[in-house]
Amino acid sequence: MQGDEVEHVTSTSSPPLRICCYGSSSKKTPDRYLSQSHSLGYTLAKRGHMCVNGAGVNGCMGSLNEGVVEGNGDVVGVIHKMFLVDGGDWMDGTSEVFRRKGGTNGGGGYSGNAEILVADGEDLYERKRMLARGADAIVVLPGGTGTFDELWEMASSLSLGFVNIPIVCVNIDGYYDPFADMLQRAHTDGLLYAKPHDLIHFETTSVLAVQWIEAEIEKRQKIDDNNSSSVGGGEQKLIRRKTPSSTVRKCFSIFFSNTLSRLFSSSGGKDQYIPNAAAGKEQITMTSTLPLLVAFSAGVFLGVNSGRRPH
């Protein structure tokens, strides 16, 4: 089912990534969506990436997991405890790959690793958290309200800075065009903190989505490396600028030491002496103290500011 398109993208220089995938679990999912879901699972497996999804047996989830199995890739499925029913086979609702012995290396030619995780809680919050935990990127296949909820929660988290990972929708036959239009409208009306393309990217096929993720992560890594190098250079400049600041402080110290010496010398204040004892005492205090306070304040201010590090 993977088709020729998948066969040409099995090799990659990208490091292994943990990719969280959202998509439908409906039995009524159209074949064109199932085909691209299978392609996504197969491509992730062949390119050495781990696929994390909702473990479903039907819809996009089911085909995604079939693709992972065919490509002998690693997969993690996350289900909610509500599906654990006493006396019943709760695994019936999961993909076959998770129902094999131990969920790992379960025979049938499959040599990858499959793991099933069970989320707790009175709602789906914990399950969504476990799906996205540790993910390097998010891929969104066509789906219903559950998929929409997962997508928008991660887009919101990205907008607010809680996460910083690429999010891409596989926009088969324009399925996610309304979402792209909604984001653009919100941006045009000034309702978004970020630009639409900084929140969600759209590709027409699963293969293109995976290739975009790999390129985007590589680009971000290069930016981080360059920023780290710039920070290192900035610290060296900061150290070199400490010397002139120390010199300036010494100059101010000498200048104001001389000023204070003059103020306390025997000649300081004689020209301002007033014979009137009552007024004169007050007058001498004012004329002697005022220059002292001015000099001292100026010295402290200039000395402190000259020693500040540049930002």
Q: What pLDDT, in 10s, does the model give residues 245-300?
A: 444 455 445 555 555 455 545 444 444 444 444 444 444 444 455 555 555 555 55
Give the pLDDT score at 111: 87
- Cβ atoms 159, 130 nearer than 8 A: no
pTM confidence score: 0.68
Q: Output DSSP code: residue 72.
A: T
Distance CA 63, CA 28 (A): 13
Give the pLDDT score at 297: 59
Q: Residue 138 — left, alpha, or beta (φ > 0 → left; ψ -120 to 50 → alpha)? A: beta
SS3 108: coil
- On the question of pLDDT at 55 being above 60, the answer is yes
SS3 20: strand
Render pLDDT for 83-119 as a digit per residue (tens, 0 to 9). Answer: 665 544 445 556 677 766 444 444 567 888 999 999 9
Distance CA 288, CA 284 (A): 6
Among 19-28, 140-149, 217-226, 229-238, the range scoring the smallest mean pLDDT is: 229-238
Distance CA 71, CA 138 (A): 20
Beta bridge partners of 50: 18
Share of the chain above pLDDT 70, in %: 62
Among 12-16, 32-36, 65-69, 197-201, the range scoring the smallest mean pLDDT is: 12-16
Alpha-helical (H) ranges within the chain are: 3-7, 31-46, 59-70, 96-99, 125-132, 145-160, 177-188, 196-199, 206-240, 242-263, 277-306
Q: Residue 3 — left, alpha, or beta (φ > 0 → left; ψ -120 to 50 → alpha)? A: left
SS3 309: coil
Give the rounded distance of the alpha carbon of 247 from its chain centre: 43
Give the pLDDT score at 294: 54
- On the question of pLDDT at 143 being above 70, the answer is yes
Q: Residue 169 — left, alpha, or beta (φ > 0 → left; ψ -120 to 50 → alpha)? A: beta
Give the pLDDT score at 28: 96
- On the question of pLDDT at 15 being above 70, the answer is yes
Give the pLDDT score at 229: 77
